[in-house]
């Protein structure tokens, strides 16, 4: 080793080109609890329409938990938590975090109102309206976080921009189903079980599809280090949870176990994605190689004094 930069020169001393996200594990927790909340609100709405009160209560409980704790994690992760409210200065379509702030604020408000009404047994019409609103916001709540992650330069995230929303949505569904299955007596929990299975299967499929579409270079992060560990854990947990829910979900013990596994799987999947991003950001090749292959106009050599010039030929090395 010398003071010379590697002459295969795909990097500057092997240093990352982009920055590793500064987000702490608070963020995957924020993603997970947010997704849980959104899908749970939707589940609660469905329960409302189908007259399944017990399910509605459980789903609402899960949603309330989610919408309370999710912002907590987000605010905790801020460098200046007291300035959280500055997020409400703007509405920027280019910023999923800006849009998302409004989404989860609305979701928190409506869920809270519904929960409050439920808890104190008052204002049933207000409660119903709140349910509907919360439920309508639910899908957005469960998917904007994927947009947030994808709207970045982190290769493992940005290159999975088409797959991440489906992954997050299905993960949310699996966790909502799982949570409701734990909290609801089995005779009322069928939709929860079904949602858990649908979500679980979709989550497994989406994560595999995502990894495949990322390609060998970038996709490799899901087999390495923490992302690899969490990914394996997520797959195992979700698979086990889905299977258990399908075959043993009608029994209380089975439902609880399956629900816990689905929740664990969903949580681990978020952590896998989180770590995948960090690992991908750390590796300069993930940024430089795909960009070089794509080509473009960042590098130009003026062919004449006034012309825009052309791109220089490939490396002369």
Partner 1 sequence: MSHVWGQTPDVSVGAAGMKLADGVETYGPEAQPRLGFFTDTSVCIGCKACEVACKEWNLVPEDGLTWTGQSYDNTGELNANTWRHVAFIEQQAPDPLKHGKQDFRWLMESDVCKHCTHAGCLDVCPTGAIFRTEFGTVVIQDDVCNGCGYCVTACPFGVIGKRELGGDGGMHKCTLCYDRLQDGMEPACAKACPTDSIQFGPLDELIERARERCGDLVEAGVSEARLYLADENDGIGGAGAFFLLLDEPEVYGLPPEPVAPTKHLGTIWGAAAVAAGALAIGVAAAFVGGAE
Partner 2 sequence: MGSNMAENHPVGFQWVMEARLKGATVMHVDPRFTRTSAMANLHVPIRAGTDIAFLGGIVNYILEHERWFDEYVKHYTNAPVIIDERFRDTEDLDGFFSGFDPQTRIYDTSTWHYAGMPVQETAGERSKGGTKGEQSGHGAQGGHLSHGEPPEEDPTLQHPRCVFQLLKKHYRRYTPELVSQICGCTREQFLEVAETLCANSGRERTSSIVYSVGWTQHTVGVQYIRTAAIIQLLLGNIGRPGGGIMALRGHASIQGSTDLATLYNILPGYLPMPHAEQDTDLAAYLENHSGSTGWWGHFDAYVISQLKSFWGEAATEENDFCFDYVPKIDGDHSTYQCAMDMIDRKVKGFFLMGENPAVGSANSRLQRLALASLDWLVVRDFVEIESASFWKDAPELQTGELKTEEIGTEVFFLPAATHVEKDGCFTNTQRLVQWHFKAVEPEGDCRSDLWFVYHLGRKIREKLAASGDPRDRPILDLTWQYATSGPTEEPSADQVLREINGIGPDGRALGTYADLKPDGSTSCGCWIYCGIYADEENKAARKEPGGEQSWVAPKWAWAWPLNRRILYNRASADSKGKPWSERKKYVWWDGRKKKWVGEDVPDFQEDKPPTFVPGDEAKAEDAIAGDHPFILQADGRGWLFAAAGLMDGPLPTHYEPHESPFDNLLYSQRANPTRQLASRRENPYNPAASDAYPYVFSTYRLTEHHTAGGMSRTVPYLSELQPELFCEVSPELARERGLEHGGWATIVTSRTAIEARVLVTERIKPIVVDGRTLHQVGVPYHWGSRGLTTGDSGNDLFPIALDPNVHIQEVKAASCDIRPGRRPRGKALRELVESYPSTLEASA
Interacting positions 4-23 with partner 2 (CB under 8 A)? 4
Q: Which stretch in 184-192, 223-231, 253-261, 264-272 sits in contact with partner 1 by CB under 8 A?
A: 184-192
* Cβ atoms of residues 138 and 156 within 8 Å: no
The continuous run of DSSP H or E covering 166 comes out as helix 164-183
Nearer to partner 1, 19 or 122 (CB): 19
* Cβ atoms of residues 238 and 204 within 8 Å: yes
Q: Which of 122, 126, 153, 253 binds partner 1 (CB under 8 A)?
A: 153
Does residue 1 bind partner 2 (CB under 8 A)? yes
Sign of the Cα torsion 4, 10, 12, 16 reads negative
Partner that binds at residue 31, options partner 1, partner 2, none, CB closer than 5 to 8 Å by kind: none
Q: By C-alpha distance, which of 145, 187, 173 is closest to 259?
A: 173
Helices 225-248 and 164-183: crossing angle in degrees, nearest 10, is 50
Nearer to partner 2, 4 or 301 (CB): 4
Site string for partner 2, 221-250 (x = CB under 8 A): ------------------------------
CB of 283 to partner 1, least distance (A): 13
Of residues 86 through 115, those in contact with partner 1 by CB under 8 A are 86-87, 89-98, 100-101
Q: By C-alpha distance, which of 165, 104, 93 is closest to 138?
A: 104
Does residue 212 bind partner 1 (CB under 8 A)? no
Q: Which of 150, 179, 255, 258 binds partner 1 (CB under 8 A)?
A: 150
User: Any idea of the CA torsion for 109, 112, 113, 119, to the nearest 10 degrees?
Assistant: 180
Nearer to partner 1, 12 or 122 (CB): 12
Does residue 316 bind partner 2 (CB under 8 A)? no
CB of 101 to partner 1, least distance (A): 6
CB of 1 to partner 2, least distance (A): 4
Q: Which stretch in 1-9, 48-56, 206-214, 236-244 sits in contact with partner 2 by CB under 8 A?
A: 1-9
Nearest 5°: the CA angle 14, 150, 166 is: 130
Q: Which stretch in 2-10, 38-46, 113-121, 186-194 sits in contact with partner 2 by CB under 8 A?
A: 2-10
Q: Write out the DSSP string of 81-139.
A: GGGGGGGGG---TT-HHHHHHHHHHHHHHHHHHHHHHHHHT--HHHHHHHHHHHHHHHH
CB of 284 to partner 2, least distance (A): 20
């Amino acid at each position: 080793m010398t003071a010379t930069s590697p002459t295969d020169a795909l990097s500057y001393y092997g240093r990352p080109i982009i920055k590793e996200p500064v987000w702490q594990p608070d963020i995957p927790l924020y993603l997970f609890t947010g997704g849980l909340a959104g899908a749970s609100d939707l589940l609660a709405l469905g329960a409302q329409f189908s007259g399944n009160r017990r399910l509605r209560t459980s789903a609402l409980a899960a949603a309330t938990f989610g919408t309370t704790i999710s912002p907590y994690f987000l605010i905790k992760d801020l460098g200046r938590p007291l300035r959280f409210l500055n997020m409400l200065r703007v509405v920027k379509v280019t910023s999923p975090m800006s849009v998302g702030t409004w989404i989860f604020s609305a979701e928190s408000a409506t869920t809270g109102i519904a929960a409050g009404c439920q808890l104190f047994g008052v204002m049933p019409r207000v409660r119903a309206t709140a349910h509907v609103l919360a439920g309508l916001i639910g899908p957005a709540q469960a998917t904007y976080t994927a947009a947030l992650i994808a709207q970045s330069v982190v290769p493992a995230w940005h290159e999975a921009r088409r797959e991440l929303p489906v992954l997050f949505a299905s993960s949310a569904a699996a966790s909502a189903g799982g949570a409701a299955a734990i909290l609801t007596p089995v005779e009322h929990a069928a939709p929860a079980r079904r949602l858990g299975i649908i979500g679980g299967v979709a989550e497994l499929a989406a994560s595999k599809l995502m990894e495949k579409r990322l390609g060998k270079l970038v996709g490799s992060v899901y087999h390495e280090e923490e992302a690899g560990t969490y990914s394996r854990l997520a797959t195992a947990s979700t698979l086990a949870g889905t299977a258990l829910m399908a075959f043993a979900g009608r029994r209380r013990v089975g439902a609880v176990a399956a629900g816990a596994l689905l929740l664990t799987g969903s949580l681990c999947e978020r952590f896998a994605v989180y770590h995948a991003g960090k690992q991908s950001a750390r590796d300069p090749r993930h940024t430089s190689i795909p960009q070089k292959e794509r080509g473009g106009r960042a590098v130009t050599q003026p062919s004449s004094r006034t012309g825009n010039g052309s791109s220089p030929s490939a490396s002369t090395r």
